Amino acid sequence: MEPLWRVEFHCHTIASKDSLVKPEALVAEAARRGVDCLIVTDHNRIDGALRAQARAPDRVVVGEEIKTTRGELLAAFVREAVPPYLTPGETIARLRDQGAFISVSHPFDLQRSGWQLPDLLEIAPYVDAIEVFNARCLDAGMNQHAAEFARQHHLPGTVGSDAHTLGEVGRATLLLPRFSGADELRQVIWQGQPQVQLSSWTVHLESAYARWRKRVFPPRQQG
């Protein structure tokens, strides 16, 4: 029997406004921590993920965390970046057109672009999964609420560290059978075995520092 993959579904690089992590460093840290598959999901762009994938094509999947007019969506196997501030329906349609796997980021974390229940109910039939554990949630009840929603609506769960710093990489992963592409991921996602741990609230201070530093010292190029 083939060994299971340890999959990180949600992490960021310096391409995100609130992270200072270089893609190459992210890949190296994931390898050091035993993460077999790293889905890089920068905010509203994929250039950081492409840079990470160039360093480790067998380990990295290009993803994106997309801000819609109602909340955020988390996608894997993205070929073309989807811009922010489209309606959820338009965002999902653009992701479906390229065959991406779609989850919903920290759906009940209203401090971080969480979803209102009517909007979440509207998109539930059109997504592949719900993020049922996000290591950056300050209130464990937010994750419990997400897990309960997924169960009620017969959706599988993803988990993610939502790493914006190297110290967070691998704090929330799923053990899964190996997969290649979004269709295979949809087939195996129900078999996921979560390995999760909440991060300290101080990680949000590090993201705030990253945003401040980029405003005060705008980088000429990322990394």
What's the pLDDT tens digit per position in 24-48? 999 999 999 999 999 999 999 999 9
What's the pLDDT tens digit per position in 95-111? 999 999 999 999 999 77
In a domain, 221, yes or no: no
- Domain span at residue 15? 5-216
In a domain, 41, yes or no: yes
Say how many domains are in the chain: 1
In a domain, 20, yes or no: yes
- Residue whose token pair is 């109602």: 70
CB under 8 Å to 163, separation ≥6 — which residues?
A: 8, 10, 11, 12, 21, 26, 135, 169, 170, 171
In a domain, 222, yes or no: no
pTM of the entire predicted model: 0.94
Q: Which CATH number fits the domain that encloses residue 13?
A: 3.20.20.140
In a domain, 68, yes or no: yes
